[in-house]
Amino acid sequence: MSEKKVLVISDTHGRTDNLDKILPRVKPLDQLIHLGDVGRDTDYIEVVAECACCFVAGNNDFYSELPRERMIKLNGVPIFLTHGHYYYVNSRKDFVRSAAVQRGAKIALFGHTHVPYLEEEGGILVANPGSLSLPRQADHRPSYMLLFIGEDGSFRVEQCYVD
Domains of the chain listed by start with CATH number: 4-161 (3.60.21.10)
Q: How far apart (Å, rounded) are the C-alpha atoms in residues 129 and 147?
A: 10
CB atoms within 10 A of CB 40: 10
pLDDT in tens, 93-147: 999 999 999 999 999 999 999 999 999 988 899 999 999 999 999 999 999 999 9
What is the band of 1 on the pLDDT scale with cuts at 50, 70, 90? Answer: low
Give pLDDT, residue 70: 98
pTM over 0.75: yes
Q: Does residue 25 register a pLDDT over 90?
A: yes
Q: What is the mean pLDDT of the chain?
A: 97
Cβ neighbors of 124 (< 8 A, separation 6 or more) are: 97, 100, 101, 105, 106, 107, 108
Q: How far apart (Å, rounded) are the C-alpha atoms in residues 23 and 49?
A: 7
Give pLDDT, residue 65: 96
Give pLDDT, residue 163: 86
Residues for the chain: how many in total? 163
User: For residues 131 and 123, is the Cβ–Cβ distance under 8 A?
Assistant: no
What is the band of 3 on the pLDDT scale with cuts at 50, 70, 90? Answer: very high
